[in-house]
Amino acid sequence: MARTRLGYQLLIRGLYFKSGNIHWVFAEKFGYVILNLTTVDAFNSARMKNGLSRLRLRDLNRMCVFRYPRRGWIVKKPQLKKP
């Protein structure tokens, strides 16, 4: 079952509320790709090994189809749940 753009928007909102990290959705030929702060670091290290320049966050914001949260740079720290 292929997901639509709306499905990915709802998915990254749920991921944001679970992890507190910024998520980006990119449109590729084969579908949509989700990147967060951790996967961006892995993506950039792979680009550096292949002789390509790193992608900055402003480049990611310019190229993405959707980002959640749309504004803000603060990353939430996971909080302990009180019993």
Tell whether 20 is covered by a domain.
yes
Q: What band does 1 get if pLDDT is binned at 50, 70 and 90?
A: very low
Number of domains the chain is built from: 1
Tell whether 57 is covered by a domain.
yes
Q: State the Cα torsion 47-65-31-44 to the nearest 10°.
A: 10
- pLDDT reported for residue 49: 93
Both tokens of 75, joined, read: 């990353």
Of residues 81 and 60, more confidently modeled = 60
Tell whether 32 is covered by a domain.
yes
Which residues span the domain enclosing 29?
5-68
What is the distance between the alpha carbons of residues 12 and 30, in angstroms, rounded to a whole number? 19
Tell whether 15 is covered by a domain.
yes
Tell whether 83 is covered by a domain.
no
